[in-house]
Structure 1
């Protein structure tokens, strides 16, 4: 299962996991056309996929997503909590609405997805939540976003301990700057170039860079990695 799987990093994760042999349940909140296109791409290569619309911050929608995956595929082996929002705002009282939106999707939504995953995953399941490498930069304007992603990392560490005895791994992947529609929105060419050159590898990440790390954590080779934050950022931080 991949929440926020209809575009950007989430879509790349869904497509990579399908290539690895997973049947994929895609959760989405926006465009049905985008979600259907992702499902069609997976099916075109012989994979299995469904798309389920819902808001990860609503318990009923999260339950419906998990139920649809369970009913369609018979079981749920791995969950990727990717759905999120990013808005820039300074730490001021008039930024409270932005802060609330970020906490609603990024923290409440992740909490609900992780909670349902903990309830439904079998012995040996895998959970990955998406964080952000910007946490280490403390960049002005990112206060609400950094607060929300710091909370995500805290939830990952705690849940890994709460699932002791079930051989379920819980990890986070923290991307650096990735050239997605969400990241590029509102930025000038100069800003994009500056961000690309901050990493020693001197480029923006690509969605597949992040998908590859998630696939490792969900695959056989990632079985001994637990309660970790994997910073996939080209050396950005």
Structure 2
């Protein structure tokens, strides 16, 4: 329960300065017209509703505290979609719009809202999307050839971007959807 998570953070740490909404789920790679409605609903519930609920319960706490930072995880797929994951890409587009809209709404309360847009990474997410334990080398090479820096995103890349957006060094950034994509979106 998201509200309980926020309440636990406040009671355990005395407040909430930063919220990172990082839940994400994808359906198996399949054309949209073949995607089961239940899978579509699950992807939207996790990727969009989860972010909404995190923001809904964090903002009042941050307002009372005098400010804060929210960083949402979207995806470069929202900007440059690949085939077979249309519903997933749509959810991440919704997260980008939610990020920008909320940034405008909460700026007067000194709350910043940004997002990171990672490119593909070899994580459990990719296992879910492909249904495979390891990415086939041919598919891996195909993905990497679209990334100018020549590799997939690693969790540390995303973590570094989130840390920056949550830091005081980014105090004048809000509504930013930062590509963490090795140049794919150029």
**TM-score clears 0.5:** yes
Partners of 2:151 and 2:172 in 1: CA distance? 30
Kindly indicate whether structure 1 or structure 2 has the higher relative contact order, using CA contacts under 8 Å at least 6 residues apart: 2
CA contact under 8 A between 1:89 and 1:95: conserved in structure 2?
A: no
Partners of 1:78 and 1:102 in 2: CA distance? 25
Q: How does 1:126-205 map to 2 (within 5 A)?
A: 126-185=69-128, 186=132, 187-205=135-153
Q: Residues 94 and 208 from structure 1, CA distance in 2 versus in 1: closer, same or farther, beyond 3 angstroms?
A: closer
Partners of 1:80 and 1:215 in 2: CA distance? 10
- Structure 2 spans left out of the alignment, 5+ residues: none
Partners of 2:113 and 2:177 in 1: CA distance? 10
How much is the aligned-residue C-alpha RMSD, in angstroms?
1.4
Partner of 1:3: none
CA contact under 8 A between 1:127 and 1:218: conserved in structure 2?
A: yes
Task: Determine helix, strand or coil for the equivalent of 1:134.
Answer: helix
- 1:100 paired with 2:41, answer yes
Task: Determine helix, strand or coil for the equivalent of 1:108.
Answer: helix
- 1:64 paired with 2:12, answer no
What is the aligned counterpart of 2:19 among 70, 76, 79? 79
* 1:158-216 deviations in Å (ceiling 9; x for gaps): 11111131111000100011222222452322101221222111111110011001000
TM-score (norm 2): 0.90
Task: Determine helix, strand or coil for the equivalent of 1:92.
Answer: helix
Partners of 2:35 and 2:162 in 1: CA distance? 36
CA contact under 8 A between 1:184 and 1:192: conserved in structure 2?
A: no
CA contact under 8 A between 1:90 and 1:142: conserved in structure 2?
A: yes
Q: Residues 207 and 67 from structure 1, CA distance in 2 versus in 1: closer, same or farther, beyond 3 angstroms?
A: same
> How many residues matched?
177
Superposition misfits of 4+ residues, deviation over 6 angstroms: none
Q: Residues 162 and 69 from structure 1, CA distance in 2 versus in 1: closer, same or farther, beyond 3 angstroms?
A: same
| More helix as a share of residues | 2
Q: Which sits farther off after the overlay, 87-96 or 97-106?
A: 87-96
* 1:101-120 deviations in Å (ceiling 9; x for gaps): 10011111111111111111
Q: How does 1:202-221 map to 2 (within 5 A)?
A: 202-221=150-169
- Structure 1 spans left out of the alignment, 5+ residues: 1-60
